[in-house]
Amino acid sequence: MFSEELKTFRRLGFRHVLLQILNFASVLASGLMIYKGLGLITNTESPIVVVLSGSMEPAFYRGDILFLVNPQNKRYEVGDITVYKIPGQDIPIVHRVLETHDVVKVVNGVRQAKPLPENQLLLTKGDNNYLDDRKHIVGKVRGYNDFPQLKYALLGGLGLLALVQRE
């Protein structure tokens, strides 16, 4: 089945094989740099995530790819779609914000006039937890991929990236 490929591989010189390995390593390193650069630009540790569950259907289906941003000093609004992670788990959770609540700060007996983003509590769909989810949020969805070929290419690239980044 692979006899022709093995013969071709054996005919290649050591330098050629080494060059192919170095080319493959440079492609992987470039992909990692682009991914990390996107993370810096979008202010999120995961600028691209894959929907893993059907909890957001029909808006997003399992396997859909989401592009995230995490703007600093911006408040989340009702209806925003957020992605967050629970500490100790590496699975991104995609939910829609149902309600926002502000923690009122009182300094020297005076209430804070303007609510700050870091004092905002979020209640998300499917989450009966009243605790603050903001510190677990990875980013707000800004883009959606509707092209299957691009989805498979990105999933393959993210799979390779996950294999390379494993500790």
Burial class (CB in 10 A: 0-12, 13-18, 19+), 154: middle
Q: Which of 52, 58, 57 is nearest to 83 (CA)?
A: 52
Active site residues: 55, 95, 133
List, as one string, the DSSP characters of 54-86. Answer: STTTTTS-TT-EEEEE--TT----TT-EEEE--
In contact, 38 and 47? CB cutoff 8 Å:
yes
Where on the phi/psi map is residue 137: left (φ > 0), alpha (ψ -120 to 50), or beta? beta
Query: Residue 18's Cα: distance from chain center in Å?
Result: 34
